[in-house]
Amino acid sequence: MLLEALSSAILGLALSWAATHRLAHRLPARPLVLSTGVAGALFGAFVMHSALEAGHLLVVLLGAAIVSVASLSLLLRPAGRLRRRSATA
């Protein structure tokens, strides 16, 4: 369990670092993004470990990556200004 937690935290940190490196203009402050990626990965690993029990490290890491990316995607802002049309148009 400790290896799964450590591996998923490192995976979440790597994914969030890659997101801040590639999408810095669309994300909020870097500490928020890094902590969200790690927390999402740890939560995903917890859910997968609870569902599958021990012995499935790769599947647990896959679940950690999926939840981490999903939580990071919630932080993304739109690329440009939103064009809003009036209700009468």
Give the integer Cα–Cα distance in Å for 25 and 19: 10
Alpha-carbon torsion 62, 7, 39, 21, what sign?
negative
Tell the residue number behind the tokens 């009468």, with chain if given.
88
Q: For residues 59 and 48, is the Cβ–Cβ distance under 8 A? A: yes
| pLDDT at residue 86 tops 70 | no
Give the integer Cα–Cα distance in Å for 79 and 37: 21
pTM of the model: 0.83
Mean pLDDT of 59-88: 84
- Write out pLDDT tens, residues 7-49: 999 999 999 999 999 998 989 999 999 999 999 999 999 999 9
User: What pLDDT score was predicted for residue 52?
Assistant: 87
